[in-house]
Structure 1
């Protein structure tokens, strides 16, 4: 038989107060969660502990106020220890909530586990608080409502976590309004759980409260409520104050960062004033000397490492002086001169690398420091790029000006002591200037010895190029089996008006030293193509070999020049053979290998000259795409009398044939050499024994066939055999 139950009622004011306390506690809880999230680790721990105490007290206070709103016909008291346990449960729930709020993200597992843990904690807090009322007989529970209250507690906890993580995206007034709305919703949810749980509790008629001597009375309840509200208010005030202090600290930090950036900017400006040329914006002499000292120290350090020889050319200085700049200043004014200098600086920066240093060290004098270069050829290539850049007209407001420059090159450690490197580059620059404008010179230890003779010779060579004194002679290459001419090599010849013939061994090094080799090489390409076109009109399809220097291969427009010459004269690409020395062909430089590859793609044939004097690798030979190897004349000279020379030639022939290349022996000067080479399997011969280099007219008048039993080619003006195609 069910016991008769007491009729309970609720004070409306008390219920409203409990809902307000729940909403206020929720608002503070959201603010505390934000503080925990935004604080450093130490502050976050302090906020978590203090926040759990305050937030838990607020939730527990809501429960206590709701209990005070309950009116029963019996006097009720609360057992102190059990009441304390219910408060401890509220604090534990709050700690769980704040710890979850401090996470970077809310994973589904965390949300589910956190919601269940917080809901369980709220239930423990509530029902432990109810258990503090000791009745005889005890409270009668409606377990369906108990389950409903537990579900509401878990749902409210899960919603609270979701709301907090969603609110992270908001800031300012929108965040505060959202926090207020969320607090109302959470307060209503907590209150709903409380009053659902209270509805599950029925009190029997005639029950006695055994804990009536414990905690009780409205005065005590009012005191607890007031103390909790004050505690919550103080906490909220502290949280807001802390937020403002953090905002002010962040503002101060930003101000300090701004001031620091301004200070760094001022220091950078001072450094620019101290180390940058104010007119052109490039480095001044002070900065250049500083970087040069550091670069020299690095070279010395690398060169003195155990087991490592000194590096070949790890840095170089290019001393650049404008030719004819003074008349520009005198004629057009200093403003025009300044504009030209600024353009010069820009062009120098465009042709240099990021690791290089461009500096202005005088009125119209610039220097370029090249670091981490592989050899002197890199410095020469840089000089070529500078000459090309300076060769373009300078664009001014009302006119165009054309200027050239003279460049002196000095490398370390080749060209003297480190403290005299700048002087060496300067001396080389003056040597280039004395030889004529628009060139460069590489420093030599005895540059002043015989400098007058060299300058006169290079000036004469420059004039010879312009006056058409240079000529190409052609030396046949003969098929070893048939005796027919299968190609010719173009050889450069210079006959001075007063000095007579000058050997290529004399004028080619001068051309390289004074920067004329590129212009001469370009002339050779064009002249060879022009001559092939003339022969083609006579029905002769010639295949002509030309020597290509390392300087030409390092020019970015090398392939374009070859293609334009072939197109201009209507010559097929496979009629031209570019002979490249073995050492140049094996250079491990991207620019050289790219030009060689592009020449092959163009259809130009490639020949490896002076083979056997360098250091080749089989993989490199295979990848270059050459069609022939030329055995160096030093091996051909002794091939019939020296076993070592014969062994070398035999090995080269076998290697060439294994790679599918034709093998040419140059420097054949007697019959015994020819017979030995024929026995070893050489495909082609070239040398004085067969034919000397001839002018084009003489070549046309010769019958270039090997007669039976003859010891040289027979030349007959009456018969002319067309050179075979292919």
Structure 2
């Protein structure tokens, strides 16, 4: 076998080095000369033997079925058949009657296989032949046959003959051969090594295999290779190597150690093949199996794989997700009218439009024909799937321009959500398909598989649409809820609260439309409108000679960015409002977002003269640490802690702790949601500064608040 032959070659070269004592290169050159002389002498001896007719140059080639495709002059002399008689014959015509029928010439799937077999000459004489096999491959690296070198072995090969034959096999092999000594220095390579790596013998002999190291493998991988080199057993696998020109290439490698007479590792040999073509073919096959050839998008097979993985994670983390099936309308008629090429181009354009409407984490796939699939692997709320469906439908609202054609298409979208509609990919696709069919029949842009989800999603979108109209049609209004001093009973401020007066449904609760505004990004427009309106109203009161206490305006976390100080300066300047007349109220959730950036923005606002209040204190991520870091002047006790006063022991303890802490930090305390005299008395005794609640007044329009100020309305402490 090849491994044994290499071991014998190494033993001979090692003995030669010991005997000669010259440099490695000189010794190898002498060994090559000796092998060449031995080969020539053996050929001369066989030529003198007229009865043998053997030729060490005998060679034939076979296809995978065993039929002869090449037959050289050496084979003709060995067997007596001219090429015209041998070509096209099955190799079995050389077999003896007692052979078992297995094609020995095709049994080895790798280069370097060897065998000694009996074969019949044309004369009928049966001879022993040694076969040296080399695998033939096509351009893609797939096996296509075998090259067989043959030598007559009427008597056993001597050690010198075997070494000569093995050396020739190694040199002619398509596999690269790399041999190192005990110090890991390269002592021998073959021509395939140079062809694959680009390194000549002069550039590699005496160096270490690090010459080919790519640097892409981790320490654990290198340890396994090192163990094989140290004699812990052969290692087979794939390694990424580096050619002389710097190019990385994948290689299939076998590494084994050779031991001397004392059992010590004297050499290591590596056999490797460049499998770049195989890898490229694998990648092409993988792409063909998992991607749509027309649009380049994942196909249903890949979508199913990714969805299945996501569902496993969703079950573990109790997360929500959705699957959308999008059916494109009018595609068939366009293809019938303008041709399938235009239809295909249109499909590709639609895929690109859909991709721009989705997040990077969302999966867009082409299922078949005119259908696309969209996997939303992680969504906060189920209704968010409806928002995505609306975006996809919106991308097709305008005609798509293709060369000379302006093409209008539409879509119907079916949505299934997990875990409600199933936790198996197949079930979710079926349910989304059913919803798509219903959407087509109902001529609806989208439908959920669940009717309840349909109603919730449609209500969500209705609110969003009408809220946008409210901004344009002057349906929004600010109400003001007074803040009252618990020392004097006088009004010392107010909180501006947004109200939506719907032309049909009347006053819409902020609890209904504010969450929708947060989810859709409309909160930015609403927040800017509130700031503008509050400053406009403060200026109007100033022009009416009314001395106004500070007006508090709520800020969304989305508004709190680096541009906020500039926006505030602009709106104050335009309405000629002093910063001391505006207080900004923020929530605790804002404080956990990037402390350094938030503190910097707050400091800019405070430097402008604006005051900051922390709203709903104690309901979110309450931390005493950030009360020291942030320039907050006012704490507001949330109504959830006020409602149980003075009878709920826990509420009393929390309120007392907040007031005590704020006093130590010299912060003003405002209690929200105060509705009874008992609550007011308890808070006043604690030392709370202000209250805000129905005990004094509910939120009122600007005119009513102005009237309270002019009339000097006060809180009656003695009321019970």
Question: TM-score under structure 1 normalisation?
Answer: 0.50
C-alpha distance in 2 between matches for 1:660 and 1:435: 63
Summarize the Cα distance change of 1:461–1:529 in structure 2 as closer, same or farther, 3 Å threshold: closer
Tell me the equivalent position of 1:317: 322
Establish whether residue 291 from structure 1 lines up as the match of residue 294 from structure 2.
no
Summarize the Cα distance change of 1:692–1:710 in structure 2 as closer, same or farther, 3 Å threshold: same
Tell me the equivalent position of 2:656: 650
Tell me the equivalent position of 2:505: 499
Say which SS state the counterpart of residue 494 (structure 1) adopts. strand
Summarize the Cα distance change of 1:507–1:709 in structure 2 as closer, same or farther, 3 Å threshold: closer
Say which SS state the counterpart of residue 275 (structure 2) adopts. helix
Does the Cα contact within 8 Å between 1:664 and 1:685 map onto a contact in 2? yes
Establish whether residue 446 from structure 1 lines up as the match of residue 446 from structure 2.
no
Q: CA deviation at 1:698?
A: 3.2
Establish whether residue 663 from structure 1 lines up as the match of residue 607 from structure 2.
no
Tell me the equivalent position of 2:532: 529
Does the Cα contact within 8 Å between 2:294 and 2:348 map onto a contact in 1? no
C-alpha distance in 2 between matches for 1:605 and 1:426: 55
Tell me the equivalent position of 1:31: none
Higher relative contact order (CA 8 A, sep 6+): 1
Give the number of the structure whose alpha-carbon radius of gyration is greater. 1
Q: CA deviation at 1:267?
A: 2.2
Say which SS state the counterpart of residue 277 (structure 1) adopts. coil
Does the Cα contact within 8 Å between 1:485 and 1:705 map onto a contact in 2? no
Question: Which blocks of at least 5 consecutive residues in structure 2 are unaligned?
Answer: 1-5, 28-167, 178-186, 199-248, 252-272
Establish whether residue 276 from structure 1 lines up as the match of residue 291 from structure 2.
yes
Summarize the Cα distance change of 1:500–1:273 in structure 2 as closer, same or farther, 3 Å threshold: same
Q: CA deviation at 1:261?
A: 1.8
Tell me the equivalent position of 1:6: none
Q: How many residues align structurally?
A: 473
Tell me the equivalent position of 2:352: 343
Summarize the Cα distance change of 1:442–1:649 in structure 2 as closer, same or farther, 3 Å threshold: farther
Q: CA deviation at 1:697?
A: 3.3
How big is each residue's C-alpha offset from its partner over 1:130-177, in whole Å with a ceiling of 9 and x where there is no partner?
xxxxxxxxxxxxxxxxxxxxxxxxxxxxxxxxxxxxxxxxxxxxxxxx
Does the Cα contact within 8 Å between 1:535 and 1:542 map onto a contact in 2? no
Tell me the equivalent position of 1:699: 705
Q: CA deviation at 1:489?
A: 1.9
Summarize the Cα distance change of 1:466–1:619 in structure 2 as closer, same or farther, 3 Å threshold: same
C-alpha distance in 2 between matches for 1:457 and 1:358: 28
Establish whether residue 53 from structure 1 lines up as the match of residue 19 from structure 2.
yes
Q: CA deviation at 1:292?
A: 0.9
C-alpha distance in 2 between matches for 1:623 and 1:249: 67
Does the Cα contact within 8 Å between 1:633 and 1:667 map onto a contact in 2? yes
| Pairing partner for 2:470 from 456, 464, 472 | 464
Aligned alpha-carbon RMSD (Å): 5.9
C-alpha distance in 2 between matches for 1:487 and 1:53: 106
Question: TM-score under structure 2 normalisation?
Answer: 0.51
Summarize the Cα distance change of 1:384–1:453 in structure 2 as closer, same or farther, 3 Å threshold: closer
C-alpha distance in 2 between matches for 1:711 and 1:434: 66
Establish whether residue 267 from structure 1 lines up as the match of residue 275 from structure 2.
no
Summarize the Cα distance change of 1:506–1:560 in structure 2 as closer, same or farther, 3 Å threshold: same
C-alpha distance in 2 between matches for 1:367 and 1:423: 14
How big is each residue's C-alpha offset from its partner over 1:192-212, in whole Å with a ceiling of 9 and x where there is no partner?
xxxxxxxxxxxxxxxxxxxxx
Q: CA deviation at 1:612?
A: 3.1
Tell me the equivalent position of 1:681: 687
Q: Which has the higher strand share?
A: 2
C-alpha distance in 1 between matches for 2:676 and 2:641: 14
Kindly report which structure 2 residues correspond to 1:15-414, keeping only aligned pairs within 5 A, or say none. Answer: 47-55=13-21, 246-251=190-195, 260-300=275-315, 303=316, 311-313=317-319, 316-317=321-322, 319=324, 334=343, 337-338=346-347, 340-347=349-356, 351-353=359-361, 357-361=363-367, 363=370, 365-370=372-377, 376=381, 412-413=418-419
Establish whether residue 690 from structure 1 lines up as the match of residue 696 from structure 2.
yes
Summarize the Cα distance change of 1:290–1:454 in structure 2 as closer, same or farther, 3 Å threshold: closer
Does the Cα contact within 8 Å between 2:393 and 2:411 map onto a contact in 1? no
Q: CA deviation at 1:447?
A: 2.2
C-alpha distance in 1 between matches for 2:393 and 2:548: 35
C-alpha distance in 2 between matches for 1:393 and 1:677: 60
C-alpha distance in 2 between matches for 1:434 and 1:491: 44
Question: Which blocks of at least 5 consecutive residues in structure 1 are unaligned?
Answer: 1-39, 57-93, 99-236, 304-310, 714-726
Q: CA deviation at 1:449?
A: 5.9
Q: CA deviation at 1:685?
A: 1.6
Does the Cα contact within 8 Å between 1:586 and 1:616 map onto a contact in 2? no
Does the Cα contact within 8 Å between 2:346 and 2:402 map onto a contact in 1? no
Does the Cα contact within 8 Å between 1:319 and 1:408 map onto a contact in 2? yes
How big is each residue's C-alpha offset from its partner over 1:430-483, in whole Å with a ceiling of 9 and x where there is no partner?
999999999x99998832568877776665545434422222212222343455
C-alpha distance in 2 between matches for 1:418 and 1:495: 45
Tell me the equivalent position of 2:479: 473
Does the Cα contact within 8 Å between 1:548 and 1:578 map onto a contact in 2? yes
